[in-house]
Amino acid sequence: MISFNYENNFNLENEEVLSSWISSVIIAEECKEGDINYIFCDDDYLHKLNVEFLNHDTLTDIISFDYSVGKIVQGDIFISTERVEDNAKDFEVPFSEELQRVLVHGVLHYCGYKDKTEEEAKLMREKENFYLNQLSSN
């Protein structure tokens, strides 16, 4: 089950559409959906998690805690809406598009994709674009 939680004043307008889309990504990747919690927060909230759990003293747009077991994908995905907004401006894309990219990025990690090397990052971006196109064509 996919759930959306809010630790700031942000609210998704289309939870059902996005939840169905994320579920379809998981199925397409031949995985099974477990409990996936998206937690929307601000920079301060996410920075504290980044320092406490990952020992990174930097701002980031997403941190995911992967509790997947085999092909059952599950975990907690924390997203800073402030970072997403800044990144959308930097990349000159609408906020909604950048947010959707981050949403699918987190779940693709759970499906086994990495982005540490240039080659892994390229494949991750291709997968993100593929699924973003599916969402926009519906």
> Cβ contacts of residue 73 below 8 Å, gap of 6+?
26, 31, 32, 33, 34, 36, 107, 110, 111
SS3 content of the chain, % helix, strand, coil (to 5): 50, 20, 25
Q: Has 109 been labeled as part of a binding site?
A: yes
Question: What letter does residue 61 receive in the DSSP assignment?
Answer: S
Is 128 exposed, middle or buried (CB count within 10 Å of its CB: 0-12, 13-18, 19+)?
Answer: buried
47 is in an annotated binding site: no
d(C-alpha 50, C-alpha 45), whole Å:
9
The annotation status of 115 as a binding-site residue, yes or no, is yes
CA-only gyration radius of the chain, Å: 14
* Binding-site residues from annotation for Zn(2+): 105, 109, 115
Binding site: residue ranges?
105, 109, 115
